[in-house]
């Protein structure tokens, strides 16, 4: 439907989504010229959740430090800065939680261009690094619909 009603869909350069690989694959298939990026807000939230999980447990007193190291990777403005910060991240996290480091390498480092600033800067994103704007808009629409449905039942 979207493609049928929006002729300019072919000029979409970038899409920002939550870390949903099924959604990512579908969007890449439907918008082959667009880069699909991961929402930075949700990436940080997801990392926070993983830090406290059993399989990758990081002690509570060290979680902020690991999160800050991840954040420094996220805000790296170039691949070179990312690599330099990655060395610091890997050294420290290997001391804190080798299992979390293995998880990070497997699930995040391989796709760093999708969630780091250096990757986001390679394509036009209109400054969007999160899905919060669209989620806010959907929230407003839902509120309006609830008000309207309450009116129609009067």
Residue boundaries of the structural domains of the chain: 2-152
Whose tokens are 């990070």? That residue is 104
pLDDT digits (tens, 9 = 90+) for 40-97: 888 999 999 999 998 888 999 999 999 999 999 999 999 999 999 999 999 999 999 9
Instruction: Say whether pTM exceeds 0.85.
Output: no
The percentage of the chain sitting over the pLDDT mark of 90, rounded to a whole number, equals 46
Distance, in Å, from the CA atom of 101 to the CA atom of 128, rounded to the nearest integer, reads: 28
Whole-number Å distance between alpha carbons of 84 and 78: 10
Which tokens is 117 given?
Answer: 């600033």
Rg (CA), the chain: 19
């Amino acid at each position: 439907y979207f493609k049928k009603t929006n002729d300019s869909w072919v000029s979409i350069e970038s899409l920002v989504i939550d870390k949903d690989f099924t959604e990512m694959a579908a969007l890449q298939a439907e918008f082959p010229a667009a880069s699909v990026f991961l929402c930075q807000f949700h990436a940080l939230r997801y990392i926070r959740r993983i830090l406290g999980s059993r399989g990758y447990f990081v002690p509570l007193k060290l979680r902020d430090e690991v999160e800050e190291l991840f954040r420094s990777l996220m805000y790296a403005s170039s691949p070179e800065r990312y690599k330099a910060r990655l060395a610091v991240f890997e050294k420290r996290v290997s001391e804190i939680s080798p299992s979390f480091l293995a998880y990070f390498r497997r699930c995040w480092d391989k796709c760093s261009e999708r969630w780091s600033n250096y990757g986001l800067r390679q394509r036009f994103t209109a400054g969007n690094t999160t899905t919060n704007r669209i989620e806010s808009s959907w929230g407003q629409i839902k509120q309006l619909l609830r008000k309207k449905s309450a009116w129609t039942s009067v």
